[in-house]
Amino acid sequence: MELNSIKPASGAKHSKRRVGRGIGSGLGKTAGRGHKGQKSRSGGYHKVGFEGGQMPLQRRLPKRGFKSHLLKYNAEITLADLQALEIVEVDVLALKQAGLVSQLAKVVKVIKSGELNKKVSLKGIGATAGAKAAIEAAGGAIAE
């Protein structure tokens, strides 16, 4: 093989459609744009969502909901997760290393889901009222 003999694979390249180049090409005269109207003119088109003056769908529907951009920094962990964890002293760093919360998480809260029957000590982690009661009942403690 020589550098001057390299060619693309057959069928990989195909010639571009040249419109408006006479009757014989099959794409002369209107160049595939049909007759008259806004879409046939150069530079003539409408913005995304435009419905010919009718109130567009995205404006007919009511605005609804809100998603806080701070949510990505909040994480929650269940009592079952704490039970499966082999550590007695649990803090945010330990949870990140165990892969139970995302690396972005800043605020972690324990929720009451599942069982906990081993003693755990939480440092810098919040807990719901039910989860707090379950942790204390198992002999654990929560230090905010």
pLDDT tens, residue by residue, 16-74: 999 999 999 999 999 999 999 989 999 988 899 999 999 999 999 999 999 999 899 99
Q: Supply the pTM of this predicted model.
A: 0.55
Q: What domains does the chain contain, in order, with CATH numbers? A: 71-143 (3.100.10.10)
Per the CB < 8 A criterion, the answer to whether 144 and 124 are in contact is yes
2-14 in b/e burial notation, b at 16+ Cβ within 10 A? Answer: eeeeeeeeeeeee
Residue 144 has what pLDDT? 67
Instruction: Work out the pLDDT band at 86, boundaries 50, 70, 90.
Output: confident
* Three-state secondary-structure class, residue 76: strand
| Three-point CA angle 59, 63, 69, nearest 5° | 125
The first and second tokens of residue 66, run together, are: 């809100």
d(CA 92, CA 78): 14
pLDDT over 70, % of the chain: 99
Give the tokens for residue 91. Answer: 């803090």
